Structures are given as structure tokens and as C-alpha cells.
Amino acid sequence: MEPYEIAATAFGIIMLLFTTRELIRRRIGLLQYSLWMAVWVALILVGTVPQFYYALILVTQALGMLTPIHFVTTFSILALFAATYVLGKRIAELNEKVNKITQHIALMNTNNKKKKDRHS
């Protein structure tokens, strides 16, 4: 095995185990887990199964790209754009929830203060 194959396989296995641990701890959802598992399994396959790399070359050529690194780079950038969009959407949703909770707490504090004033 070449050094890059060993590194890719080791990294893929470590990240696969880490991702599984995060799912078990319920820090990530099943959809996120599935997406990351596909990435880690593909990385492990590239490192351990030479035919998988050759299949990647065929896919790359079918898409009109010169080398597999062009495919990987293009796919990675697209995946990062998608991740940025999803994270931005999630942040907006969480901000909305925080605002609603803050308003609810403020109303509860106001109501509690009014009740205390009436009983004094």
C-alpha cells in the first residue's frame, strides 16, 4: 500500500468511528450521519480498493474533467456551498426560537411582577 492509501484509510476509519459515536450520543441526526458515512466509506474504498479509484477516473472522464482531483475539488466546493446554506438556514431557525423564548420569558416575568404588586 502507498502512504496516501494508508493515510486515507486510517483517516476514514477514525472519522467513521467518530461519526458513529456522535450518532449514538444523539449529537447528529440520521440524515447527517448517512451523508458523512457515505463520505467516509468512499474515502476508505479509495484507500483500500484500487478498482474504486479507477471507477472514479471513469466517472471523472465521463463528466469531462481531466483528473479525479478536478472531480473531488468541484464536488467538495459544491458540498461546502450546500453545507453553508443549510447551516445558515439552521442558524436563522435557532435565532427565531431564541427570540420566541426570550419574549415568552419576558411576558412571564411581567405577569409575575404584576401578581406580586397586587398581593403587596
Q: How far apart are CA 22 and CA 19, in angstroms?
A: 5
> C-alpha cell of 94?
435557532
Q: Closest by alpha carbon to 72, among 36, 33, 43?
A: 43
Q: Closest by alpha carbon to 70, among 43, 52, 48, 62?
A: 62
Q: What is the pLDDT of residues 14-72, one digit of tens each?
A: 999 999 999 999 999 999 999 999 999 988 988 888 788 788 888 888 988 888 888 88
CA angle 19, 3, 70 (to 5 degrees): 70
Residue, of 19 and 73, whose pLDDT is higher: 19
Indicate the pTM of the whole model.
0.65
pLDDT score at 10: 94
Q: What is the pLDDT of residues 76-109, one digit of tens each?
A: 899 899 989 999 999 999 999 999 999 999 999 8
